[in-house]
Structure 1
Amino acid sequence: MNDLRIRCATLSDIDTVLRFWRDAAEGTSISDDHDGVARLITRDPGALLLAERDGLLTGTVIAGFDGWRCSAYRLAVHPDCRRQGIATALMEAAEQRFITLGGRRVDAMVLEANERAHHTWAAAGYRREDHWRRWIKPLES
């Protein structure tokens, strides 16, 4: 994992990220377009975290914080790079960001049908709240 680099996305990364999500992410969202991602990066330059190895995008997570809630979206790892600790590294970076910003709990949006993702979130210490259909994890400061 020494060759893995986690960094914040810039506006010049948008097209690469959108292509990556088409290959690596399960499903799409109404905001998965150039304008939507540009708004995210412009509004909160630290929110979209990218994992790179040898200059290639291997994973993403959106670590959004609105001043009250910490939200994780778009945790995705390229299919050829899964089970190598990339999702863990991304979420550790996201959680550190949340702690630095004063966050106290993470809500993760996970597609209901994505069973593989459910196992990933559970292994990372998140628990499912069925009445909300979300996964959460308290943060320790």
Structure 2
Amino acid sequence: MNDLAIRTAAPADLDAVLAFWKVAAEGTSISDDRDGMERLVARDPGALILAERSGELAGTVIAGFDGWRCHLYRLAVHPDQRRQGVGRALLTAAEERFVQLGGRRGDAMVLNRNELAHHAWHAAGYAPEPQWSRWVKHLKD
């Protein structure tokens, strides 16, 4: 995993990220478009975190913080890169960001039908909150 580079996205990365999600993400969202991505990066330049290996996009996560709660979206790893620590590295970067910003708990939106993702989130220390259909991890007390 030494060749894995983690960095925040720049506006020049957005088209590549959108194309990547068509391959690596489970489904798409109404906000998965260039305008939505530009708003995200303009409002919170550190929120979109990328993992690259050998200059190629290997994974993404959006680590949004609204000043009160920490939210994780779009954790996606390229199918050829799965089970190689990419998702864990992205979540570590997101959690470090949250702690630096004063966040105390991260929650993730995870599709109920995406059982492969459920295993990954559980392995990373997150647990489902059945009443909300989201996964939560306390980052610090």
Which TM-score tier does this pair reach, normalised by the shorter chain? over 0.9
Q: Deviations over 1:4-28 (max 9, x none)?
A: 0000001000100000000000011
- Quote how far apart the aligned CAs of 1:140 are: 2.5
What aligned pairs does 1:100-115 form with structure 2 within 5 A after superposition?
A: 100-115=100-115
- Quote how far apart the aligned CAs of 1:135 are: 0.1
5+ residue gaps, structure 2, are: none
Q: Deviations over 1:50-75 (max 9, x none)?
A: 00011100000000000001000000
Distance in 1, Cα, partners of 2:140 & 2:80: 32
Distance in 2, Cα, partners of 1:38 & 1:114: 27
Q: Deviations over 1:74-109 (max 9, x none)?
A: 000000000000000000000000000000000100
Partner of 1:65: 65
Distance in 2, Cα, partners of 1:120 & 1:98: 20
Q: Deviations over 1:93-132 (max 9, x none)?
A: 0000000000000010001110000111011100100001
Give the secondary structure class of the aligned counterpart of 1:137: strand
Distance in 1, Cα, partners of 2:117 & 2:134: 12
Query: Are 2:26 and 1:18 equivalent residues in the alignment?
Result: no
Distance in 2, Cα, partners of 1:115 & 1:4: 26
In the comparison of the two structures, how many residue pairs are matched? Answer: 141
Structure 1: which 4+ aligned runs deviate by more than 6 Å? none
What aligned pairs does 1:88-127 form with structure 2 within 5 A after superposition?
A: 88-127=88-127
Q: CA RMSD in A?
A: 0.7
Distance in 2, Cα, partners of 1:47 & 1:100: 13
- Quote how far apart the aligned CAs of 1:37 are: 0.5
Report the residue type matching 1:127 in the other structure: A
Distance in 2, Cα, partners of 1:3 & 1:140: 30
Distance in 1, Cα, partners of 2:97 & 2:125: 17
